[in-house]
């Protein structure tokens, strides 16, 4: 706990986010269709009244891709000869392969098997399977049930529509004093799974609400709720010039709901401002975090950080995609995430944004050390024992050289940027520091 | 010992320095006043006839500071009801708080306690305490004696004057062929303590005498004996332009008297020529030295390396300030330092200066390896066993590329720069090397 | 074995190279004379019909050196009073000091001893000794025999000629589409020793034949068979401008015959394209290789990498000079090297050259990730279990940014460049990649 405990995410907001996640959990989200729309409508109604919801027609090009047909599902099940339901969309939307084409027929067990998905190594988990770009149909069941299936006739019903429609996403632009902007991006295409990614959805919503409530933002905030991959491509293709010119840092918000771990996904080449600020806070508040390699990326940094796009985008996560056993199964349910997990993730991201807002280069207004003693910032008595007292402020001053920005200064001095900033304010109001040009 | 033994500081000069320290020990130095003047006068008379002693009036501005009133002390003691002296300036000048204002009155024990300083964790040590910039008075005693004090009346007498006067420092400028200069700075404000900093005073004096005796200096040497902090600020404020333009390397000479350790304090950002040369010799002759972080600095590099000043100044020390138990107490007496300790520190600094004087970039006068055999610099017989003999000279030649300076060359080849230089001279006189432009 | 086994050098060519080495073994090579000429003639006749053999007259200047007189040997022996031969050139050419001047006289044992060379630490090895630039004579014998020598008269005969003549080397220039060139250099001056350096001679010959057989070379190949040191200096002095302007990578081929180790000698400052490609393949196929320091160099990189010359030349070796006990003794015979050792070394070098030929910077033809699924390069079904399948291709694409060249890309992605290249071809033919300008 220790340093990590110092984050102390707001429990009340944690409970609120958990409630949103609970209410959004049952919706059958996909990369298009009613589930996404209902999810975004819920966020607009409950959290972000200014959320702008955008529809993009099927067939619209996005770089090398096209928006696919829209998918609607009304029902899906497998019934055995005795009328027992082997899989049932109404029990869990994970039980049908996402984007399944419609089917309604009797099949024998051998044929059925070709359309079943289960996880032998996790016999009680229903896997999450999709087939967005290849027409097929299928069901996902636990391996335990699959092994019990007897030869015979099965009635398979998938009542879906796949037809031109649109892809839905939402954005919120919070203007700041500067055109330069910070990107927050989360994805709303995953059906009933909690850590991946209702956690990302609700934390982004809470963070957006918090930033929207601030009256004097330095940076502009671009906050997007999109279907993963195709949504990121569509969004990027529409806003590429602005994002490329203005983005100083960005965060893909995903897998931020549990309390078991902290994880970091760097940008493609690392070393951006987003990398620096994220690593700074992780080192201070979650020093045992897992530092993933970009080779292991798995979300929309795949697009935001692709060659030539190369936005400074990172991901601060808890148990990260592919890094926890429940990932992409029915076991990733609401029992995995907690109000405190959500609250601490929110707090971590807020500290990142606050540090970015405050991030400037400072320099001393005099040569040599200022005389801190007469300003009450240093012990007046020189002795062996009181020497350490003034060390911190002297060390901060030593690196206010117009070169170190707030985050680099904090790294050098060994303090979290938020603790350091109180000193900066005090020293600036004493006239000892000024912003470097 | 091993490599370190190879320093072999001159024992005779070690004894001489120790004698100076012994004679200077009793003087009551402070940042102003008679003690500093007597110390500097002693150095001018005994060691450095050309030393220029400078007085700077109280109130003179130095960046963010002003020279304080001058302090004179004639006597100070605490006497109990029975006439026994609890503290006595005449026994040790550490027993009165530096810059104490005058007092002469009877106080009860509770009042007295507020003006006493002792070290519970070192019950037999008298701490060194000062209050330069806040008027107060106090005494320093051992904690053992303090614990024995009985309730009753105590007569406290401090016979001092605090009045406009001047701050005293000394400098010696040794001109060289170049305007570029090397700074040696030591502080003369500490009363009766040996390692911190009579060791620095006497080693700097011996080093200055040695450099003064050399007829053909490449660099100009700026050697200053100043009160710590305020003296450095005063000196810098008067010579800033010259020092900033000309200084190629500098050394704060302090804590160079004992034999227990070697220590290094880098410049603010590291990587200067001073850092390179100091680290080079420490690695070769004192490989187990302690490499401090600039965050732990404690002497005049606080000013010389402050942002915007940023002179290339480092400190090569033995047991460094705050790094040994006797630091800033009466236990830091002449038993702590030794003639050999002083002599080895002097030798270490001399090698640094010599390497700086010789530090140039060299390049071969031909392509390919020169034919060393016909110049007697390589075995004529090619055989498995004599191969190593010519390795060193070939390796030196391999990095005489006009890019590596003497110190970088020595680092690369794995030899101390002083050993290496003999090869450079031999190769240059054989016409195989020339100075790079 | 593992990854190393993956090299799978061609055994048939290994046998062929071993046969060449066997036939060349008895020739008495030196830096001039009949042995070199016979060796080069053999290579021209058997392997490289286009080899151009060049004679350079004694006295010709080469930077700081001059080509020495040519040395011819007809016979050499020591005979004791009983007529027994203590040393005999006809038994092994190592038994006479290379470049010995002629002698024919009776000497006593004490005088003889001054002209004997043996290795007390290797009592059964005859050392390899030369004296190219200082007129003397001598014999090399085992220390076991030397210790048995009884006082008495010995008849020493060395039937040699040292007179103006020429130094012989050979070169093969294989033109490519580009003027930029790759250097392969090996030395032909060592008498009957196998790993050092008949291995280098035969591997270079096989590699040259292979490159000559390729119809469409990108780079020009400069392949030289020279006497070590003086030959490299002579060659460099004649082709300096071209080599300096055009060389993109070079390899000194030596000690490539045994199977006991892999070794690497970097260029003088490291970090050249030659260093990168060599280290890349060594890391993948021989991860336990020894990485030598340039300070330990011992062959013609001494000249090629000398200051100002600074060609990007490295050495990939097996058991490297000075790094194996048989080095420069009669124990370095044909039993030390193997067809497989030679074949694997050849294969390693070929992969280096192939990677250089293919080394380009690639960039994506679109923003964002291309849609691999519809091109059959990515699983169409999205599920927890099939995710890893498309990871490699996505990671390659992520670093096709116009900055990473093939070798850097392979390093970043963690694949050997040869495996990676198959993906590059597939992605390029799918129109997803193009060469960066």
Chain C residue at shortest CA distance from B396:
C295
Helix-helix angle B273-285:B417-429, to 10 degrees: 110
Burial (CB count within 10 angstroms: exposed 0-12, middle 13-18, buried 19+), residue C235? buried
Task: Report, as an integer, the average pLDDT of C320-325.
Answer: 96
Cis bond upstream, residue A213 (ω within 30): no
State how far the Cα of B186 lies from the Cα of C411, in Å rounded to an integer.
52
Cα distances from C72 to residues A239, B264, C163, C169, in angstroms, run 80, 62, 9, 16
Contact call for C327 and B369, based on CB within 8 A? no
Give tens-digit pLDDT for A21-58. 999 999 999 999 999 999 999 999 999 999 999 999 99
Amino acid A382: pLDDT: 85
Of C368, C374, C385, nearest to A306 by CB-CB distance is C368
Instruction: Assign A1 a pLDDT band (cuts: 50, 70, 90).
Output: very low
Is residue A388 predicted with pLDDT exceeding 80? Answer: no
**pLDDT attached to residue B386:** 67
Chain C residues contacting B via beta carbons under 8 Å: 62-65, 97-98, 117, 119, 127-134, 136, 229, 232-233, 236-237, 240, 268, 294-295, 297-298, 302-303, 305-310, 322, 327-329
pLDDT in tens, C80-121: 999 999 999 999 999 999 999 999 999 999 999 999 999 999
With bands split at pLDDT 50, 70 and 90, how would you rate the model's confidence at C1?
very low
Percent of chain B with pLDDT over 70: 98
Distances, alpha carbon C199 to alpha carbons B384, C21, C254, in Å: 19, 7, 7
What pLDDT, on the 0 to 100 scale, is given for residue A63? 98
- List, for residues B390-437, the tens digit of each pLDDT value: 889 999 999 999 999 999 999 999 999 999 999 999 999 999 999 998
Answer for the pair C28, C97: CB distance below 8 angstroms, yes or no: no
Q: What is the pLDDT of residue C2?
A: 43
Condensed to tens digits (0 to 9), the pLDDT of residues C245-261 reads: 999 999 999 999 999 99
Q: What is the mean pLDDT of residues C220-246?
A: 98
Q: In whole angstroms, what is the distance from residue A257 CA to residue B313 CA?
A: 50
Least CB–CB distance from B368: residue in C119, C130, C303 = C303
Q: Which residues of B touch C132 (CB under 8 A)?
A: 382
Q: Are the beta carbons of C398 and A117 separated by less than 8 Å? A: no
Q: Percent helix, strand and coil across chain B, each rounded to 5?
A: 35, 25, 40
CB contact under 8 A, C328 and B401: no
DSSP for A327-339 reads TTBTTSSTTT--H
For residues B70 and B36, the answer to whether their CB atoms sit within 8 Å is no
User: Which of A306, A328, A330 is best to mutate for the C interface (most C CBs within 10 A)?
Assistant: A306
Candidates B380, B382, B430, partner chain C, best to mutate (most C CBs within 10 A): B382
Residues of C with Cβ-Cβ distance to A236 under 8 angstroms: 367-368
Confidence band (pLDDT; 50, 70, 90) for C386? low
Q: Is the pLDDT of residue A387 over 90?
A: no
Out of A62, A129, A232, the one facing C382 most closely (by C-beta) is A129
Per-residue pLDDT reduced to its tens digit, B349-400: 999 999 999 999 999 999 999 999 899 888 888 888 766 668 899 999 999 9
Predicted local confidence at residue A385, as pLDDT: 74
Residues of B with CB under 8 A from a CB of A: 62-65, 97-98, 117, 119, 127-134, 136, 229, 232-233, 236-237, 240, 268, 294-295, 297-298, 302-303, 305-310, 322, 327-329
* Per-residue pLDDT at A5 exceeds 90: no
* Burial of C135 (C-beta count, 10 Å sphere; 0-12/13-18/19+): exposed
**Least Cα separation, residue B129 to chain A (angstroms):** 5
Mean pLDDT, chain B, rounded, equals 96
- Per-residue pLDDT, A285: 94
Between chains, do C383 and A328 touch, taking CB under 8 Å as contact? yes
Half-sphere exposure of C20 (CA within 13 A, CB side): 29
Instruction: Tell me which residue of A336, A22, A343, A39 sits closest to A190, measured CA to CA.
Output: A39
Please state the length of chain A: 437
B170 pLDDT above the threshold of 90: yes
> From its phi and psi, is residue A10 left (phi > 0), alpha (psi between -120 and 50) or beta?
beta
- In chain A, what residues touch B322 (CB-CB under 8 Å)? 384, 387
A82 pLDDT band (50/70/90 cuts)?
very high
- pLDDT per residue over B326-338, tens digit each? 999 999 999 999 9
Measured CA to CA, the distance from residue C425 to residue C376 in angstroms comes to 15
- What's this model's pTM, rounded to 2 decimal places? 0.95
pLDDT digits (tens, 9 = 90+) for B106-130: 999 999 999 999 999 999 999 999 9
> pLDDT tens-digit profile of C118-158?
999 999 999 999 999 999 999 999 999 999 999 999 999 99
Chain B contact set for C303 (CB, 8 A): 368-369
B204-228: average pLDDT: 97
Contact C391 A307 (CB under 8 A): no
d(CA B27, CA A369): 29
Question: Given a cut of 60, is residue B344 above it in pLDDT?
Answer: yes
Q: What is the pLDDT of residues A302-339, one digit of tens each?
A: 999 999 999 999 999 999 999 999 999 999 999 999 99
Q: Which chains lie within 8 Å of chain A at 3 or more CB pairs, if any?
A: B, C
DSSP C94-145: GGB-BTPPPEEEEEEHHHHHTTEE--TTSTT--B--B-TTS----EE--HHH
Give the per-residue pLDDT at A138: 98
Is the pLDDT score of C194 beyond 60? yes
Mean pLDDT of B160-165: 98
Chain A residues touching chain B at CB-CB below 8 Å = 363-364, 366-371, 373-374, 380-385, 387, 391, 394-395, 397-402, 413-414
CA pair distance B311, B266, nearest whole angstrom = 11
C298 Cα distance to chain centroid: 12
CB of C379 closer than 8 Å to CB of C364: no
Q: Please, how many CA atoms are within 13 Å of residue C161, restricted to the half-sphere of its CB?
A: 8
Nearest CA among C369, C424, C364 for reference residue A65: C369
Q: How many angstroms separate the Cα of A400 from the Cα of each of A393, B239, B268, B302?
A: 11, 23, 11, 13
> Confidence class of residue C378 from pLDDT cuts 50, 70 and 90?
confident
Do the Cβ atoms of B398 and C268 come within 8 Å?
yes
In sequence order, which residues have a C-beta less than 8 Å from that of residue B290 and are 6 or more positions away?
A: B261, B262, B263, B264, B320, B323
């Amino acid at each position: 706990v220790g340093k990590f405990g110092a984050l102390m995410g707001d429990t009340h907001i944690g409970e609120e986010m958990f409630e949103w996640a609970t209410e959004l959990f049952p919706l059958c989200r996909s990369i298009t269709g009613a589930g996404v729309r209902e999810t975004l409508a819920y966020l607009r109604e409950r959290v972000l009244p200014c959320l702008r919801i955008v529809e993009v027609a099927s067939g619209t090009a996005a770089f090398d891709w096209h928006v696919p047909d829209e998918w609607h599902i009304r029902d899906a099940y497998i019934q055995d000869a005795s009328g027992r339901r082997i899989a049932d969309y109404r029990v869990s939307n994970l039980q049908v392969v996402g984007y399944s084409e419609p089917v309604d027929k009797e099949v024998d067990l051998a044929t059925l098997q070709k359309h079943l998905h289960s996880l032998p190594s996790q016999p009680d988990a229903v896997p999450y399977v999709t087939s967005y770009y290849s027409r097929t149909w299928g069901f996902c069941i636990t391996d335990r049930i699959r092994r019990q299936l007897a030869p015979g006739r099965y009635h398979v019903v998938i009542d879906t529509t796949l037809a031109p429609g649109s892809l839905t996403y939402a954005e919120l632009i919070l203007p700041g004093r500067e055109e330069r902007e910070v990107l927050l991006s989360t994805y709303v295409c995953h059906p009933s799974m909690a850590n991946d990614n209702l956690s990302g959805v609700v934390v982004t919503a809470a963070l957006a609400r918090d930033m929207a409530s601030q009256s004097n933002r330095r940076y502009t905030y671009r906050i997007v709720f999109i279907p993963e991959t195709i949504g990121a491509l569509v969004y990027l293709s529409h806003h590429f010039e602005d994002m490329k010119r203005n983005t100083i840092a960005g965060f893909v918000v995903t897998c931020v709901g549990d309390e078991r771990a902290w994880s970091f996904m760097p940008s493609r080449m690392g070393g951006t401002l987003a990398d620096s600020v994220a690593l700074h806070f992780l080192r201070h508040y979650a020093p045992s975090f897992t530092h993933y390699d970009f080779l292991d990326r798995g979300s929309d940094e795949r697009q935001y950080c692709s060659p030539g796009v190369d936005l400074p985008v990172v991901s601060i996560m808890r148990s990260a995609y592919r890094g926890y056993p429940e990932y992409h199964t029915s076991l990733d349910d609401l029992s995995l995430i907690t109000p405190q997990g959500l609250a601490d993730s929110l707090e971590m991201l807020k500290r990142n944004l606050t540090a970015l807002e405050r991030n400037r280069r400072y320099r001393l207004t005099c040569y040599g050390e200022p005389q801190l003693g007469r300003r009450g910032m240093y012990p007046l008595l020189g002795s062996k024992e009181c020497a350490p007292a003034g060390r911190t402020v002297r060390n901060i001053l030593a690196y206010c050289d117009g070169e170190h920005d707030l985050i680099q200064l904090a790294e050098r001095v060994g303090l979290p940027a938020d603790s350091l900033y109180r000193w900066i304010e005090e020293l600036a109001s004493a006239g000892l520091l000024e912003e470097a040009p």
